[in-house]
Amino acid sequence: MSWLILVVSGVLEAVWATALGKSDGFSKLGPTAVFVVALIASMAGLAVAMRDLPVGTAYAVWVGIGAVLTIVYAMATGEQAVSALKVFFLLMIVGGVIGLKLAH
């Protein structure tokens, strides 16, 4: 169950990171509200997952999921250019996250 909570928390990290970028320095209410709610839920989920998972593993997986999804979203919406090299490095992050899960 801790792994599921961690994955959901990682997804929420991508949500709050994207919302933060769209909040325009907290001047837009909608994205700012999404940022606050997603941030609180993401941190709470990370804290719960860390009850059963090692801190280093949980944090690395959480950051990896959030980073990859944030970049993939930016690429999908055209906010960031796609390149073979970027995709390769994203796959390396995903491989590292899977490796940490398997090594646990």
Q: What's the pLDDT tens digit per position in 74-99?
A: 999 999 999 999 999 999 999 999 99
Q: Cβ distance 52 to 2 under 8 Å?
A: yes
Q: Cβ distance 68 to 94 under 8 Å?
A: yes
Q: Cβ distance 96 to 103 under 8 Å?
A: no
pLDDT at 104 over 90: no
Q: According to the model, what pLDDT value does residue 100 have?
A: 86
**Mean pLDDT, the chain, as a whole number?**
96
H-state helical runs in 51-83:
55-76
> Average pLDDT for residues 3-8, to the nearest whole number?
97
pLDDT digits (tens, 9 = 90+) for 18-46: 999 999 999 999 999 999 999 999 999 99
Residue with token string 């990290």:
13
Which helix (H) or strand (E) segment is 32 a member of?
Answer: helix 29-49
What is the band of 59 on the pLDDT scale with cuts at 50, 70, 90? very high
Q: Cβ distance 71 to 80 under 8 Å?
A: yes
Query: Six-digit token pair at 47?
Result: 């804290």
